[in-house]
Chain A
Amino acid sequence: MKRRHEETLSGYLFLLPSLIILTIFIGYPMLNSFYLSLHKWNGLSETKLFVGLSNYIRLLSDNEFWNAAKNTGVFTFAVTFGQISFGLIIALMVNRKLRGVTFYRTVFFLPVATSTVAVAVMWVMAYNPTIGIVNYFLRLARLPTPQWLQDPNWAMPGIIIMSIWKWVGYHMVIYLAGLQGIPKIYYEAAELDGANKWYIFRNITWPLLAPTTFFLLMISIIGSFQVFDQVYVMTRGGPIKSTEVIVYYLYQHGFRYLEMGYASAVAYVLFAIIFIFTLVQFRYRRKAGFYLE
């Protein structure tokens, strides 16, 4: 009995460093930010004025918050769709016995391994309407050349394209693992029955990849809702707030306008949205647990 007790104790001792770090850097800020969301505070003064739910009410009636929410929604939808479809297409392309296939896989994965800020700076140059490489190729192809990040209608598509490019390699790798987990016998049986390639994809590959697709869908949605780096580096929410997303809106109010209470309320609304998606994922995982992992 004594030995068991000792084991539990040493177990907790091993946990202690992580627990301390989690409590200080995650637990405390989360609780404190909820407390702040009920107050008016400029981040500097000693006094915090209790205002109840008025930060939340202001948020719901602020057009600019809804604009940021709409932009985040558009971004999330387009990026998730793009990452999943291109991720799958590329995975199918590199899931073959070709010479140099590992080279291609590495090439597609490379952007994932680089820092978002660094590639965002690179894309700013690429999107330069006059001297950027994107418009250079469009000009060669005799296509119209948009002003990209300088044009409110093109800035968001610009950021979306960059984000898909940045993360598509990650989706490819997960899909590759999914593809290689499908037993060969299904394909052999289908071929014996004379099924064509599309039929095989439609009825074997796609359904058996469903858990992978679902996992990627959730990861992508949750990640996209928190987008900040690209926006911060490439457009700062502009032009005319056409790329202002929720986290950037939060940052502006918290740190530029010093409305810490209001920014905390925004953070909690974002938290609620992401929490819902996480719940959906957990439920599905439990149901279809045997498919995953």
Chain B
Amino acid sequence: MKKLSVLLLGFLLMGSLAIFAGGQKEEAEKVELDVWEYFSGAHEPHLTSLIEQFNQENPNINVKWTYVPYEETIVKFMTAFAAGNFPEIGIVDNVWVGQMVTADKILPLDSYIDGPDGIDRNDIYDVLWKFDTFNGKTYAVPFDSNNVGLYYNKDLFRKAGLDPKKPPETWDDMTNYSVKLTTGDRIGLGRITGDEMGSFILQPLMWSNGGEFLSKDYTKAAFNSPECLETLEWLIDMIQTKKSAKTCDYATALGDFAGGMLGMYFQGSWLMSELAETAYDFEYGTGMMPKGKKGIATSIGGEHAFICVTTDAKQDASWQVLKHLSSTESNAKFSMPTRYVPIRKSVCDSAEYKQFLADNPNMKTFVDQVQYGRIRPPLEKYPKISDAYREEIEKALYGKISAAEALANGEKKVNEILKEAK
């Protein structure tokens, strides 16, 4: 009996040794790369086909992709950085690049971008690079872009006696339309906050009224102002008093809108391709963000790709992947079916894309809106700042505290975070 167990133990040991040895043998020849990304549903196949194309054209590199849920992305990367088992490439929300930089595990790309095998910075919209630049270095390359606008159900507009060709233009229009569209369980306006997309929607509404999120040098909170108070009170009036708006999470809003239970809905351009895969039986239209005292404002969203610090061979191969993903050809291929806004001027200026916009007026709204686009502050601590701001405002939207209290509390919290960041 004893002999048998010794023998067994021996086998186990040998087995594990063999595994270790086997692991070291391969390598060389093909460079294996992993991309962590959160494109799902309607968007995923368009990313994966770009990667597959890359694999075919580059037989010495093999890129695979790993899906990470949107809400999990920061946590997943940070724990991976801490544990040392991170991928070679990541594609994340542009406002998260800063936090990735703080981990000290991602590579400045300037020598690649401006090198002999680089890309033309000027062909990519200037505003997008702002998300990637920290301490004068560029840490990521734009992959796609989008901005927030208004979706509305044309059938419900007709039923409510509104012109289905005319989305609301001003805040007063918004209020009136939302009241007219509210009947029974049906709500006029939805999806104001819930996660980072809450900040994505709230900040432009405040900007359009002349409010600011942070001070110009990003050292202080600036949203505790009369302009932002007015914005918040306007939203609270619709939610709490008129009961013509509600705030809810991503999936609920999408389900409600597709189910014809939501008249109007703030969301990014990518939603169009998601809606196309959802069962709905009405015609919808898109409009720009409603005009405040200072005109229209939207926030620029999108995904940017970065390279993690690994080996030279892997980093060089990863650069080839980034170059491929952000090329004019890839960008055109990806942007059209997914309804992301192109990152490249050469795509927007192409005859093909112009024809595409002529055929898809709903998409044209978002491309035309780019000129009113602003960015959420690209700071290392942005996710934490945004959470603090949004969580206080949500309390006011749900009627737990007043608008003034929410802005004052949020200001205090954001300032504390900004102070400790120094």
- Measured CB to CB, the residues of A under 8 A from B are 43-44, 124, 128-131, 145, 147, 149-150, 152, 236, 238-241, 255-258
Q: Which of B74, B383, B391 contacts A240 (CB 8 A)?
A: B391
Mostly, the B contact residues are helix
The reply to whether the CB of B93 lies closer than 8 angstroms to some CB of chain A is no
**What's the Cα separation between A43 and B383 when bound, in Å?**
17
**What's the Cα separation between A128 and B261 when bound, in Å?**
12
Question: Which B residues are in CB contact (< 8 Å) with A241?
Answer: 391
**What's the Cα separation between A43 and B384 when bound, in Å?**
16
Asked whether, in the complex, the Cβ of B248 is within 8 Å of the Cβ of A256, the reply is no
Q: Which 8 A-B pairs have CB atoms at the shortest separation, nearest pair first? A: A150-B248, A255-B75, A130-B261, A43-B82, A240-B394, A240-B395, A44-B82, A130-B256
Question: Which B residues are in CB contact (< 8 Å) with A124?
Answer: 251
The reply to whether the CB of B398 lies closer than 8 angstroms to some CB of chain A is yes
Mostly, the A contact residues are loop
In chain B, positions 163-186 with a C-beta closer than 8 Å to chain A are: 185
Question: Which A residues are in CB contact (< 8 Å) with B185?
Answer: 130, 145
Question: Which A residues are in CB contact (< 8 Å) with B261?
Answer: 130
Q: Which of B251, B255, B394 contacts A239 (CB 8 A)?
A: B394
Asked whether, in the complex, the Cβ of A130 is within 8 Å of the Cβ of B78, the reply is no
Beyond known contacts A43-B78, A130-B255, A236-B195: 19 more, CB 8 A cutoff: A43-B82, A44-B78, A44-B104, A128-B251, A128-B252, A129-B256, A147-B248, A149-B252, A150-B246, A150-B247, A150-B249, A150-B252, A238-B194, A238-B249, A239-B194, A239-B398, A240-B391, A240-B398, A256-B74
**What's the Cα separation between A147 and B243 when bound, in Å?**
13
**What's the Cα separation between A241 and B400 when bound, in Å?**
12
**What's the Cα separation between A256 and B384 when bound, in Å?**
8
**What's the Cα separation between A220 and B161 when bound, in Å?**
55
Asked whether, in the complex, the Cβ of A152 is within 8 Å of the Cβ of B248, the reply is no
Asked whether, in the complex, the Cβ of B398 is within 8 Å of the Cβ of A152, the reply is yes
Question: Which A residues are in CB contact (< 8 Å) with B383?
Answer: 256
Asked whether, in the complex, the Cβ of A44 is within 8 Å of the Cβ of B103, the reply is yes
Question: Which A residues are in CB contact (< 8 Å) with B71?
Answer: 236
The reply to whether the CB of B79 lies closer than 8 angstroms to some CB of chain A is yes
**What's the Cα separation between A236 and B336 when bound, in Å?**
33
In chain B, positions 366-415 with a C-beta closer than 8 Å to chain A are: 383-384, 391, 394-395, 398, 400
**What's the Cα separation between A255 and B76 when bound, in Å?**
8
Closest chain A residue, CB of each to CB of B105: A44
For this complex, 24 residue pairs linking A to B, each with C-beta atoms less than 8 Å apart, are A44-B78, A44-B81, A44-B104, A128-B251, A128-B252, A130-B255, A130-B261, A145-B185, A147-B246, A147-B248, A149-B249, A150-B249, A152-B400, A236-B71, A236-B195, A238-B194, A238-B249, A238-B394, A239-B194, A239-B394, A240-B395, A256-B74, A256-B78, A257-B384
Question: Which A residues are in CB contact (< 8 Å) with B398?
Answer: 152, 239-240
**What's the Cα separation between A278 and B109 when bound, in Å?**
55
**What's the Cα separation between A258 and B79 when bound, in Å?**
9
**What's the Cα separation between A240 and B79 when bound, in Å?**
26
Question: Which B residues are in CB contact (< 8 Å) with A43?
Answer: 78-79, 82
Interface string of B246-286 (1 = CB under 8 A from A): 11110110011001010000000000000000000000000
Question: Which A residues are in CB contact (< 8 Å) with B400?
Answer: 152, 240
**What's the Cα separation between A75 and B16 when bound, in Å?**
46
Closest chain A residue, CB of each to CB of B397: A240
Shortest Cβ distance from A142 into chain B, in angstroms?
Answer: 13
**What's the Cα separation between A34 and B391 when bound, in Å?**
30
Question: Which A residues are in CB contact (< 8 Å) with B259?
Answer: 130-131
**What's the Cα separation between A76 and B89 when bound, in Å?**
43
Closest chain A residue, CB of each to CB of B383: A256
Question: Which A residues are in CB contact (< 8 Å) with B104?
Answer: 44
Question: Which B residues are in CB contact (< 8 Å) with A240?
Answer: 391, 394-395, 398, 400
Asked whether, in the complex, the Cβ of A255 is within 8 Å of the Cβ of B78, the reply is yes
In chain B, positions 119-155 with a C-beta closer than 8 Å to chain A are: none
Interface string of B331-361 (1 = CB under 8 A from A): 0000000000000000000000000000000
Question: Which A residues are in CB contact (< 8 Å) with B79?
Answer: 43, 255
Asked whether, in the complex, the Cβ of B252 is within 8 Å of the Cβ of A129, the reply is yes
Closest chain B residue, CB of each to CB of A132: B255
**What's the Cα separation between A130 and B74 when bound, in Å?**
31
- Name the residue in A124, A147, A150 with the highest tally of chain B Cβ atoms < 10 Å from its Cβ: A150
Closest chain B residue, CB of each to CB of A260: B82
**What's the Cα separation between A195 and B249 when bound, in Å?**
56
Shortest Cβ distance from A88 into chain B, in angstroms?
Answer: 36
Question: Which A residues are in CB contact (< 8 Å) with B252?
Answer: 128-130, 149-150
**What's the Cα separation between A129 and B261 when bound, in Å?**
10
**What's the Cα separation between A150 and B251 when bound, in Å?**
11
Shortest Cβ distance from A179 into chain B, in angstroms?
Answer: 43
**What's the Cα separation between A251 and B307 when bound, in Å?**
27
Shortest Cβ distance from B355 into chain A, in angstroms?
Answer: 37
Q: Which of A128, A149, A238, A256 contacts B75 (CB 8 A)?
A: A256
Question: Which B residues are in CB contact (< 8 Å) with A150?
Answer: 246-249, 252
**What's the Cα separation between A241 and B75 when bound, in Å?**
19
Question: Which A residues are in CB contact (< 8 Å) with B251?
Answer: 124, 128
**What's the Cα separation between A27 and B249 when bound, in Å?**
40
- Name the residue in B74, B78, B81 with the highest tally of chain A Cβ atoms < 10 Å from its Cβ: B78
Question: Which B residues are in CB contact (< 8 Å) with A256?
Answer: 74-75, 78, 383
Question: Which B residues are in CB contact (< 8 Å) with A145?
Answer: 185
- Name the residue in B195, B383, B398 with the highest tally of chain A Cβ atoms < 10 Å from its Cβ: B398
- Name the residue in A130, A131, A152, A258 with the highest tally of chain B Cβ atoms < 10 Å from its Cβ: A130
Interface string of B190-234 (1 = CB under 8 A from A): 000011000000000000000000000000000000000000000
Question: Which A residues are in CB contact (< 8 Å) with B75?
Answer: 255-256
**What's the Cα separation between A136 and B195 when bound, in Å?**
27
